[in-house]
Structure 1
Amino acid sequence: MLTRLVAAAALGLAFAGCSDPTLPTDEWVRARAAGQATLSVTNRGDEPVHVLISDPTVLALMMGCTPTMCTRIGAGQTVRVPYAQIENYTPGDAQAAVSWWVFDDGGTTAAQGTVVVQL
């Protein structure tokens, strides 16, 4: 039993050494309320991300993003977005959804995710 556990641990470490060092998709973008009705959005990844910020309680049909229509945030950069620029925002809303995309050179989605933040 101990031999199997040691072998499994060694195999796991070997695979970890070969794994992709990029962040998990739920950690690429950090968003937080920054005071004065402003949202701070940080790209924690090593590739540019494109973001679309919306009210998560409103059904948005065909919500998507292209490199030309969404806000681009470079690797390691932070942008500040006034609440008034959040899609479907109504004063007093409690949350915003920051949906993000990474595109490859051909414009195809390489990674994507959504972070919900308290306002």
Structure 2
Amino acid sequence: MYTFKKEERLCNKRLIDGLFHKGSSFLCYPFKVSWCAAPEHQPVPVQVVLAVSKRRYKRAVDRNLIKRRMREVYRLYKQQCLYNPLLAANKTIVLSIGFIGKEIADYSLMEKKMQKALLQLSTQATAQ
């Protein structure tokens, strides 16, 4: 339940390009969430890519710290906030979560905002 396996990660270049060209997006500061319906059947309800801007955070250790925190929060809250509503609606999506904050956020802020973003995403995705 609280895992983040390889098949849950979005690696397909064609799907990533399609996500940014014809997907929907919204802001939930410090995150920018882009998503679209998956074109073909997937083994999991959501495939996700997590991104941190190299332009804003020059040092790799800073980018890795932010990505580690994002992965951990996503791993803990994906099931209750995202998977359950999508499975009930029988939908699959591809998802990008980008960190756009100006400074490195602490874990508690990321946790609260990620929950809010995932709930907003689940309502938008099930409504379509």
* TM-score computed with the length of structure 1 as normaliser: 0.30
Higher relative contact order (CA 8 A, sep 6+): 2
Structure with greater helix percent: 2
Q: Looking at CA atoms only, which structure, 1 or 2, has the larger radius of gyration?
A: 1
Higher strand share: 1
